[in-house]
Amino acid sequence: MLVLGLSAVVIVLLGVVLLLGSVVSARHRASVSADLAALAAADVVLGRAGGDPCRRASEVAQAQASRLERCAVGADDSVAVTVSARPRGAGAALGTATARARAGPGP
């Protein structure tokens, strides 16, 4: 009986660890996607690539399994983006992870 109880506790703890791992993974994915999207958009603004900066940022975010929530080009040619990523599996029920990034010319 004790073995069954301990086994149940271990299984529940394993489930919690896997759930938290999914959430942490989504947070990291959102952060990396925001950085890459901002850099890609800044390349367009600075003339290193063609197209629309926010459209390019959206494409890059989608390639990283994320979604561009906000994109703004500043007067100083900087680009600020906000990206969200949903955790995979059961972690999706906990909501989305969001990250912001900014890229552009140096001071």
Element (H, E) at 2: helix 2-45
pLDDT of residue 35: 97
CA–CA distance, 35 with 75 (Å, rounded to integer): 20
Asked whether the beta carbons of 33 and 64 are under 8 A apart, the reply is yes
pLDDT of residue 92: 78
Q: Per this entry, what is the length of the chain?
A: 107
pLDDT of residue 93: 79
Task: Give the range among 18-22, 62-66, 91-95 with minimum mean pLDDT.
Answer: 91-95
pLDDT band at 39 (very low <50, low <70, confident <90, very high): very high
pLDDT of residue 69: 98
Mean pLDDT of 45-72: 96
* Mean pLDDT over the full length of the chain: 92
1-37 as b/e, with b when 16 or more CB fall inside 10 Å? eeeeeeeeeeeeeeeeeebeebbebbbebbbbbbbbb
Is the predicted pLDDT of residue 71 greater than 90, yes or no? yes
Mean pLDDT of 11-21: 89
What is the pTM for the complete model shown?
0.84
